[in-house]
Amino acid sequence: MTRTLSIWRWQLIFTAGMIAIAVAIAAFIPRTFGNPYVVSGFGTVLATTVVTIAAPWSRLPRWTAALVPFLDALAIGLTTNVAEIRLGFLWVFPITWLAAFFTLPWIFGCIGFIMLCLVLFSGHSGTQTDVVLRVLTVLITLSFLGVSIRLGMRRARASGRLLKRQSEQAARAAERAETQQLRVTQIIDALDIALVVVTAGGRIVKMNDAYRVLYGRDRFGAVLPSASVEYDDRRGNPVPPERTTLARASAGQLLAGERVWLFDSEGAWHALDVSTHAMAGDTEPTTLVIIDDVTALIEADEERAAITAVVSHELRNPLTAIIGHADLLLERDDLPERVRGQLEVIMNAGERMQRLVTSALDDPRSDDTEHRPVDLRDVVDASAASFAAIAAAAGIALEVGGAREVTILGDAFRLRQVLDNLLSNALKYTSAHGTVTVTLADAPAPEIVIADTGGGIAENDLARLFEPYFRTESAIRAGIPGTGLGMGIARDIVALHGGTIEVASVVGDGTRVILRFPAPPAPRPDDPKADS
């Protein structure tokens, strides 16, 4: 359809020009229409125009369109039979048409055809030299015009193609940028942390879904009717507008983990940690506000504190009774020595249980107890003594060997907790007539090795041994009691002492747990304790 409209447009413009010239001739030189060549020329123009409009150009080969300017050149040639009206300059129309859409051979072919018409139909007034000069002038002029237009059209088309490619590249780049921006937006919206970018003027530039939900805003940033309200404390006073998070960020204040309480549209409280980072803006400075909802962490801490209080309250009374009665029994003079030793074990275990009641639910990684010199042999002997009765009842040999004295800097209570956990595990997973051995070494570094002859641990389970609440399938099937917390607690306590814990096991061949600690620093010569 575009091609057809182009052919119609060119022909109708040419026809309109010829009609205007015909009207002018009729008005000023009417006798001209007495020349049959002139009448034939204008008639050819009209006939060509009718054929042009009626022809099905979309179904015809492209080269057939070149016949139209050739017919127009013929019509102009017929009108040149009358020398006084000088219509030969109209040949620029067909030449321009061909130069715009066809190659140079077509242009020069049309020029040759024009020369033939000029020789056959043009009035030959004047000398032969004048006729030759006239033909050469038309030839040179039309050739220059056709070649110039053709070259110009080629450059124009080349520039058009280049612009089109550049436009397509720019469109693809814009599409990729839009896709990338959409991807980044989707990633940001998937975060649980609320993010919002605000300008110095208080205008929200960007925010993610977490912020919209938390603060009750729609996707365009407008505040919904049931918006959230910031407070200075839970059930405290509302924050003034000039002190809200966005207002302070707009003012350029840098916040780092500042606590803000938010009462949302659903009537729930949120504890927020708010931080800000300055960013460069297009026209004005902007600030990124990072809002982390830590409500769950705070509630977990509160629940931990409540559980600790309940456990401490519920266990303290029976423990006090156990320790009190054991102390009363130890005051008797008629106790056998073996019974007195057993009561002392009960007494020590009760006192340790009292300490564990207040510290077992604390995070072992936050232990701030001052480290003092501790003899690991004393810790191992005390732990082994407390498990001796359990080992004997289960028919398991519990042996302690190695160095008689291994000193490190640490917390004896926490180290005893580690040894109790590891010995308890070794005894639980060792069958009757088995052996649990604890070996100490002080060179090249302090070391404790707890080895048992139990069933061992599968290789896949070793990697998860320190995960909270993890228990092996074999232990669960065997009904062996446990929580899956002991190994993780032991690792954290050993790490607080600068040591490492390593577990090696083979199914059917037992387990070895190796504790390694850094050697204590050598005493300075000026240290008064060095001489004691």
Per-residue pLDDT of the chain (532 residues; tens, 9 = 90+): 677 888 888 889 989 988 998 898 888 888 888 888 889 989 999 999 999 999 998 888 888 998 999 999 999 888 887 766 777 888 888 998 888 888 889 999 999 998 888 888 776 555 667 667 777 888 888 888 888 888 888 888 888 888 889 988 988 888 888 888 788 878 888 888 888 888 888 888 888 888 888 887 776 655 555 468 888 888 788 888 888 888 888 888 888 988 889 888 778 889 999 999 988 766 778 899 999 988 888 888 778 777 766 666 566 657 767 777 777 787 788 888 888 778 877 877 777 776 666 565 555 445 555 788 999 999 999 889 888 888 988 899 999 999 999 999 999 888 988 998 899 889 988 989 999 999 999 988 899 999 999 888 888 888 888 887 788 877 777 777 777 778 888 899 999 999 999 999 988 889 999 999 998 887 655 555 444 4
Could you tell me how many residues make up the chain?
532
* Spatial separation of the C-alpha atoms in residues 84 and 429, rounded to whole Å: 126
Burial string for 344-355 (b: 16+ CB within 10 Å, else e) reads ebbbbbbebbbe
Tokens standing for residue 453: 């002859």
Domain with CATH 3.30.450.20 in the chain: 191-293
242 C-beta neighbours (distance < 10 Å), count: 9
Q: Which pLDDT score, from 0 to 100, does residue 500 have? A: 94
CA distance linking residue 308 with residue 321, whole number of Å: 20
Quick one: tokens of 524?
């300075």
- At 266 the pLDDT is 77
Pair 388, 425: CB distance under 8 Å: no
Tokens of 365: 């990684």
pLDDT of residue 397: 94
Given 3.20.20.30, 3.30.565.10, 3.40.640.10, 3.40.50.410, which CATH number is that of 364-516?
A: 3.30.565.10
Looking at residue 136, what is its pLDDT?
85
How far apart, in Å, do the first and last CA atoms of the chain sit? Answer: 111
Instruction: Write the CA distances from 344 to 332, 333, 336, 492, integer angstroms.
Output: 13, 14, 12, 30
pLDDT given at position 494: 93
Domain with CATH 3.30.565.10 in the chain: 364-516
Rounded CA-CA distance 413/60 in Å is: 102
**In which residue are the tokens 């000039």 written?**
242
Helix (H) or strand (E) holding 506: none
Q: What is the pTM of this model?
A: 0.43
Beta strands in 63-148, from DSSP E residues, in sequence order? none
Q: What is the rounded (10 degree) CA torsion for 104, 107, 111, 116?
A: 110
What's residue 501's pLDDT? 93
Give 34-38's long-range contacts (Cβ < 8 A, gap of 24+). 35/81, 35/82, 37/78, 37/79, 37/81, 37/82, 37/121, 38/78, 38/79, 38/81, 38/82, 38/85
Closest CA to 107 of 144, 64, 155: 144
**Residue of 463, 458, 451 lying closest to 423 (CA atoms):** 451
| Dist CA 379 CA 413 (whole Å) | 9
CATH superfamily name and code, 191-293: PAS domain (3.30.450.20)
**Confidence at residue 468, expressed as pLDDT on a 0 to 100 scale:** 79
